[in-house]
Amino acid sequence: MTRRSVTATTDRDRQWWKEAVVYQVYPRSFYDSDGDGVGDLPGVTAKVEYLDDLGVDVVWLCPVYESPNADNGYDISDYRAIMDEFGTMADWETLLDALHEREMRLLMDLVVNHTSDEHEWFQRSRRREDGYEDYYYWRDGSPDEPPNNWGSFMGGSAWTYDEVREQWYLHLFDEKQPDLNWRNADVRDEIASLVEWWLEKGIDGFRIDASNYISKPEGLPDGASGRSPTGVEQFSHGPRVHEYLRELYERTFSNYDVMTVAEMNDTSVELAREYLGESGDGLDMIVHFEHMGVDAGPGGRWDPEGWGEWSLPAFKEIMSRWQRDLGDGWNAPYLGNHDQPRIVSRFGDDGEYRTESAKLLATFLLTSRGTPFVYQGEEIGMTNAEFDGLADLDDPQTVGAIEDLLAAGTVDSYAEVREFVNYVSRDHARTPMQWDDTENAGFTDGDPWFAVNDDYTEVNVADAIADEDSIWHYYRRLIDRRHDADVLVYGDYDLLCPDDEQLYAYTRTLDDEAVLVVLNWSADPAAFEPEDIDVSASSVLISNYDDASARGVRRDYRPYEAVVVEL
Ligand code: GLC
Determine the pLDDT at residue 12: 52
Pairing, β 503-510 against β 513-520: antiparallel
φ, ψ for residue 92 (rounded to 5)? Answer: -65, -45
Q: What is the CA angle 454-477-430, rounded to 5?
A: 30
User: What are the tens digits of pLDDT across the range 496-528?
Assistant: 999 999 999 999 999 999 999 999 999 999 999
Q: Cβ distance 245 to 171 under 8 Å?
A: no
For residue 313, whether the previous peptide bond is cis, meaning omega lies within 30 degrees of 0, is: no
Sign of CA pseudo-dihedral 532, 535, 541, 547: positive
Closest CA to 122 of 198, 176, 172: 176
Rounded to whole angstroms, how far apart are CA atoms 293 and 405? 20
Number of H helices, E strands in the chain: 17, 20
**Torsion-angle region of residue 564: left (phi > 0), alpha (psi -120 to 50) or beta?**
beta
Q: Supply the DSSP symbol for 222.
A: P
Choose one of 25, 26, 65, 71 to mutate for the ligand 1 pocket test, by most ligand atoms within 8 angstroms of C-beta.
71
Say yes or no: CB of residue 173 within 6 Å of ligand 1: yes
Burial class (CB in 10 A: 0-12, 13-18, 19+), 324: middle
Between CA 342 and CA 113 the distance in angstroms is 27
Contacts of 567 (CB under 8 A, 6+ apart): 507, 514, 515, 516, 533, 534, 535, 537, 538
Query: What are the b/e assignments for 494-512, b being 16+ CB within 10 Å?
Result: bbbbeebebbbbbbbbbee
Please list the residues that pair with 23 across neighbouring strands.
59, 374
Alpha carbon of 131 to ligand 1 centroid (Å): 28
Does the CB atom of residue 74 touch ligand 1 within 6 A?
yes
H-assigned helices in 325-383: 343-346, 354-366
User: Would the CB of 210 count as within 6 Å of ligand 1?
Assistant: yes
How far is residue 216's CA from residue 233's CA, in Å, rounded to a whole number? 10
**Cα gap 504→509, rounded to integer Å:** 17
40: CB partners within 8 A, 6+ apart: 27, 31, 32, 33, 34, 85, 86, 87, 91
Give 401-465 as a 3 state SS string. Answer: HHHHHHHCCCCCCHHHHHHHHHHHCHHHHHCCCCCCCCHHHHCCCCCCCCCCCHHHHCCCHHHHH
pLDDT of residue 480: 98
Q: Is the CB of 235 under 6 A from ligand 1?
A: no
Give the residue ranges of the chain where pLDDT is below 50: 1-11
Contacts of 319 (CB under 8 A, 6+ apart): 291, 333, 368
74 C-alpha to center of ligand 1: Å? 6
* Exposed/middle/buried for residue 448 (C-beta within 10 Å: 0-12, 13-18, 19+): buried
**290 touches ligand 1 (CB under 6 Å):** no
Residue 395 Cβ inside 6 Å of ligand 1? The answer reads no
Q: Name, in order, each residue with C-beta under 8 angstroms of 226's C-beta and a sequence gap of 6 or more.
A: none
Nearest to 509 by CA among 27, 114, 12: 12
CA distance linking residue 565 with residue 507, whole number of Å? 9
Q: Spell out where 330-397 has E strands.
A: 330-331, 373-375
Cβ-based neighbours of 399, under 8 Å, separated by 6 or more: 155, 390, 393
Q: Which residue type is seen at 233?
A: E
Ligand 1 proximity of 71 Cβ (cutoff 6 Å): yes
Q: Whose C-alpha lies nearest to ligand 1, atom 7?
A: 210
Task: Identify the residue whose C-alpha is closest to ligand 1 atom 2.
Answer: 209
For the chain, the distance separating the N- and C-terminal CA atoms, rounded to the nearest angstrom, is 43
Indicate if ligand 1 lies below 6 Å from the C-beta of 379: no
For residue 338, which atom of ligand 1 is closest to its CA? 9
Three-state secondary structure call for residue 43: helix
Name beta bridge partners: 251.
none
- Ligand 1 atom nearest the C-alpha of 339 is 9
The residues that are catalytic are 209, 263
Condensed to tens digits (0 to 9), the pLDDT of residues 347-397 reads 999 999 999 999 999 999 999 999 999 999 999 999 999 999 999 999 999
Helix axes 354-366, 471-484, angle to 10 degrees: 20
Q: Which atom of ligand 1 is nearest to the CA of 426?
A: 9
The atom number, within ligand 1, closest to the CA of 337 reads 8
**Most distant pair of Cα atoms in the chain: their distance:** 75
Give distance in angstroms: CA of 151 to centre of ligand 1: 16
Q: Note whether 176 and 160 are within 8 A (CB).
A: no
Indicate the pairing of strand 78-82 with strand 65-66.
antiparallel
What are the residues whose beta carbons fall under 8 Å from the beta carbon of 290, sequence distance 6 or more? 267, 268, 318, 322
Ligand 1 centre to CA of 323 (Å) is 25
Q: Is 309 exposed, middle or buried (0-12, 13-18, 19+ CB in 10 A)?
A: exposed
The string of pLDDT tens digits covering residues 20-72 is 999 999 999 999 999 999 999 999 999 999 999 999 999 999 999 999 999 99
Please give the distance, rounded to the nearest whole angstrom, from the Cα atom of residue 276 to the centre of ligand 1: 21
